[in-house]
Chains A and B, each alone.
Chain A
Amino acid sequence: MDLPANAGASLPLDPTAPTFKMPAQPRISKSSEPVVELLTNGQVKRSGSPQAKKENQASNAAQNISKPASEAAPNEEGAEKQLSNKELKLKQKAEKQAKRAAQKAAQDAEALDKAQQQQQQQQQQPEQSSADQRRPSNTGKAQPSQGVKITDMTTHHKRTADTSAKSLPIRPPTGFTSQTKEAEAEKKSPPEKKVTVFSHLYSKDRRTGIAGVSREIHPAVLTLAIQLRDYVICGGNARCVATLLAFKKVIQSYTTPPSVALPRHLTTHLSHQISYLSSSRPLCTSQGNSIRWLKKLVVELDPKVSDPDARDFVCKSIDLFIREKVTLADEVIAREASKKIVNGDTVLVYAKSSVVEKSLLTAYREGKAFSVVVADSRPLFEGKNLARSLARAGLRVQYCLLTGLGSLSKKVTKCFLGASAMMGNGRLYSRAGAAMVAMMAKDSGGMVPEFGAAGNVPVIVLCESVKFSSRVVLDSIVSNELGEPDALVEHEDDGIITPSAAQLQAPAAAGAKKGKGGKADAEEEDDSARRKNFGLEGWTEQPNLQLLHLMYDVTPAEYLDMVITELGSIPPSAVSAVNGVWGGEA
């Protein structure tokens, strides 16, 4: 049984103290466990009996391991869809639920469970109906539940954090927690938790909820915004494609008001959508570039062209853009990059990039004999996804965290990095940690197969030209993105740090990531005992403790040997030249 909320105040670092990341219900009583599972799994499942638990885990294991990548991807996506649905619904009815849950705290677990199921059914009905009768955004009052409709995305561009279930505890649906008691608790918490050097990166309105949104915002954009916010869609390519697809829907359902020219009005209409998107998560370079392209396209439309024709033209252009700049570009890059892999290579990659994955798989399919070292880091663990998909394909994969890179980098012969952006001065802007990986490869890297000499591993960046930026970046302080600091707080799930603990959890291995919903009550007791070992839970109450979660870093051009784009291979110094020729970001 958890302690009451105010108990944490006297013990600043007590792990049971409330942190604003936890949803309201789980702390009310232990019988609210199914609610957690509802959140993480997207399914209502009672996990009371050990039998049921095992089944649950078995099914999870089957999902995670046995299926080949192609099948698993849609599966994962489905889970995410459900997930974000739940989030939305929960958010939408947050206060109602809080009240209900409080009442139900007195009742026994089964009753709660039933109620939960009913509630869910109730929620699903309006969602389906609204999805069926979708209307353009400018018809009357925008219903929040419209945003539940998910954009249909091509799966291969998707990148998610390790598992969908994992991403949730890291990234709680704070939109609704802010409306509950914890919001008040947060207000009371004395110091502002900002690291001064990075204070310019904290934005107040970052987490826009769905409430109070202007009626101009299209449901597709609302959906996308929430998916972006919760990292359901992450990675430069996926974000770029999803944005364009959402805008395609916006344009499809757009009608020009009387006495206004389409090029003029549509641009302002799009601007609203864009600013809403950027408030959910700062736009990345690929998004920015594609949006700039789209705006230019719209502005240059002939005002005399009729609405349907113009819409048709823009939508077709968007499809073409996605095809040329992302899909085909990736193919070309993968082909070029796979040429650089020779037999006997050990390729070091970091975190996850769709184009790096594609290149490695292409090289493998070409029959090259090489192995891969996947370096990864907390808290997103994106590399797990990559390691899994490569291993499934049959590649030899070694997985390590950044901390273990020192010993593994000795045998590395090449290093492939994905990019969020290539900057005008040839620097690479990528997932935090990439700079460290590049420097490790360059300075303490391995041996060239033919010569057996140490050092100087070629670092190759794979980057579509849509990610090229003309901005000059010198460090990763001036422009960066802050992640949720709570993600750095360790959770009970991460507890497998000793072999004995691993053995203990081995039967539950597959379910371990699914949160405590997958655990029996007896284990729960152990957990609460062990949880005391983690130190950062009450960091908000600790006045002299700040957490900083940076999302990106900048790798100096000296550490990069080559940038492979769909236009060819160029040295990092030529990024600006390519920008000039291709009229990229001016």
Chain B
Amino acid sequence: MMADITPPTSHATEAFDIVSKYHSLLSADADLTPPIAAIESLIALLTASPVTTISETLDLLSHSSATLRSSVPNWIALSAGTDLFQRYLVQTLNRPGALGSGGDFGYLRQHLLSNGRLFVQRAKKARAKIADEGRLFIHEGSTILTNGGSRVVSALLLRAAESQPSGPRFRVIYVLPLSSSSKTLGKAEGEGQPTITLLRSHSVPVACIPYSALATALPLIDLVVVGAEGVVENGGIISRLGTHQIGLLARSAGKPMYVAAESYKFVRLYPLGMSDLPVRQNIIKFEPVDEDKEEEEEEEVRAVMDGKEKTDGAENDETDADAMAKRRQQGKEITSLEDAVDFTPPNLISALITENGVLTPSAVSEELIKLWF
């Protein structure tokens, strides 16, 4: 993993804005995941820029990966893609005869680009494969608990619904973050809405619960399936805030927890725990009691929901300015509740369902070692 941003070397590439390319790719295709979008934008960058040497290429890639990383608050998923692409590039370059018979860099570049596109296509197919593998875990008559807006989990559940011969005979409990608009029981809403609509259209019974109802729902369920933003080296996952507590509760009730994730989400990252994650999110904020506390709280909730930076009272202005300066130096901070992540340690995960098969958490490091050494 690269730690520092390398200084820009070639100004010719300034014309191509990798960040906007990345965001436009993401918004154009709802099914696109951040790692793949990152890889696609890197390929687009290579296509657009007139690099002529290997070191120039590597330099350009590492530089623009860093740019891309610093442009988003949570770069973990994204870096899985950029690291993978760079690694793939280095491996291709190290292969004897990589430059073709004439030692022509243009040939190599063409090869890289076409192979890169192949990689993206294959990665997109991974989701279908995972759905095929994962549907076997969903038995008839079972109840599945899930959370977040994972596209893989959605695909998996739909595939299971389609494949069960006499129509879908399983139920889904969807855990949603409690939003201010839903105050009625059984009416939670949030990120997973499209999946829920889709499942219901396939006549799968779906119940929506807030996180506070987790323990109540636990006796009903047979297994937990969650998605992941990134899978780290020890087999733990970085996922939507709240996944860790699902894992803890599932473990305490003896229910298995499966993670559906494509293998391109494997990150070379080894956090020791939540405090060791390389994202900055101020989840637990200690604040002194204030007179107009309630008002402010409400305001704050709104600000958080809007994804805006909340500025505190006047007395904190100076320190806040300092803190903001620091934040700008270190990169962006996660402010919206929907983007907040947590780390689920590997001991809570029963298995990872990937397109390469069902893996134990410890197998993740083996896969990564195969890739990186």
Name A's B-contacting residues (CB within 8 A): 340, 342, 414, 448-451, 456, 458, 460, 561-562, 567-571, 573-574, 577-578, 581-582
Contact = CB atoms under 8 A, between A and B. Distances in A.
B17 interface: no
A449 B268 CA distance: 25
Given A451-B274, A562-B270, A577-B365, 16 more contacts: A448-B275, A456-B273, A567-B373, A568-B372, A569-B270, A570-B365, A571-B234, A571-B346, A571-B362, A573-B365, A574-B366, A577-B370, A578-B369, A578-B373, A581-B370, A581-B373
Contacts of B273: 448, 456, 458
B313 to A, nearest CB: 24
A340 B275 contact: no
Contacts of A581: 369-370, 373
Interface string B345-373: 01000000000000000100110011011
A254 to B, nearest CB: 35
A444 B324 CA distance: 38
Contacts of A562: 234, 270, 272
B262 interface: no
Contact of B275 (A449, A460, A573): A449
A581 B233 CA distance: 17
B247 interface: no
A561 B345 CA distance: 10
Interface residues of B, number: 19
B362 A573 contact: yes
Contact of A569 (B233, B274, B370): B233
B15 interface: no
Contact of B369 (A342, A448, A577): A577
A570 B268 CA distance: 10
A583 to B, nearest CB: 11
Contacts of B233: 568-571
Contacts of B373: 567, 578, 581-582
B71 to A, nearest CB: 24
Given A571-B233, A577-B366, A451 B268 contact: no
27 contacts: A340-B272, A340-B276, A342-B275, A414-B272, A448-B273, A448-B275, A449-B275, A451-B275, A458-B273, A460-B272, A567-B369, A567-B373, A568-B233, A568-B372, A570-B365, A570-B369, A571-B233, A571-B234, A571-B346, A571-B362, A571-B365, A573-B365, A574-B366, A574-B369, A577-B365, A578-B369, A581-B373
Given A449-B275, A450-B275, A458-B272, A571 B370 contact: no
A456 B273 CA distance: 10
B235 interface: yes
A567 B273 CA distance: 21
A340 B274 CA distance: 13
B218 to A, nearest CB: 22
A307 B227 CA distance: 62
A450 B284 CA distance: 9
A340 B362 CA distance: 21
B272 A561 contact: yes
Contacts of A569: 233, 270
Q: Count chain A CB atoms within 10 A of each CB in B234, B346, B370 and give the residue with the most.
A: B234
Contacts of A340: 272, 276
Contacts of A578: 369, 373
B284 A451 contact: yes
A29 to B, nearest CB: 61
3 nearest CB pairs, A to B: A573-B362, A574-B365, A577-B366
A449 B284 CA distance: 13
Contacts of A570: 233, 270, 365, 369
Interface in B267-289: 268, 270, 272-276, 284
Contacts of A414: 272
A573 to B, nearest CB: 4
A450 B234 CA distance: 22
A82 B215 CA distance: 70
A568 B268 contact: yes
Contacts of B268: 568
A345 to B, nearest CB: 11
Nearest to A578: B369
A241 B362 CA distance: 32
A332 to B, nearest CB: 14
A565 to B, nearest CB: 11
A18 to B, nearest CB: 54
Nearest to A561: B272
Nearest to B347: A558
A567 to B, nearest CB: 6
Contacts of B275: 342, 448-451
A370 to B, nearest CB: 14
A342 B275 CA distance: 10
A577 B364 CA distance: 11
Nearest to B365: A574
Contacts of B284: 450-451
A460 B272 CA distance: 9
A574 B362 contact: yes
Nearest to B276: A340
A121 B251 CA distance: 73
A451 B276 CA distance: 12
A573 B233 CA distance: 11
B43 to A, nearest CB: 27
Contact of A571 (B235, B274, B276, B372): B235
A578 B276 CA distance: 24
Interface in B231-282: 233-235, 268, 270, 272-276
A560 to B, nearest CB: 11
Contacts of B369: 567, 570, 574, 577-578, 581
A562 B362 CA distance: 12
A567 B370 CA distance: 12
Contacts of B274: 451
A264 B362 CA distance: 42
A578 B362 CA distance: 13
A448 B274 CA distance: 10
Contacts of A561: 234, 272
A577 B369 CA distance: 7
A458 B276 CA distance: 11
A574 B232 CA distance: 13
A155 B268 CA distance: 35
Contacts of A449: 275
Q: Count chain A CB atoms within 10 A of each CB in B268, B275, B284 and give the residue with the most.
A: B275
Contacts of A450: 275, 284
A342 B268 CA distance: 20
Contacts of B366: 574, 577
A534 B270 CA distance: 50
B169 to A, nearest CB: 37
Contacts of A582: 373
A585 B284 CA distance: 47
A429 to B, nearest CB: 19
B364 to A, nearest CB: 8
Contacts of A571: 233-235, 346, 362, 365
Contacts of B365: 570-571, 573-574, 577
Contacts of B272: 340, 414, 458, 460, 561-562
B172 to A, nearest CB: 32
Nearest to B372: A568
B231 to A, nearest CB: 12
A569 B372 CA distance: 12
Contacts of A342: 275
B230 to A, nearest CB: 15
B277 to A, nearest CB: 11
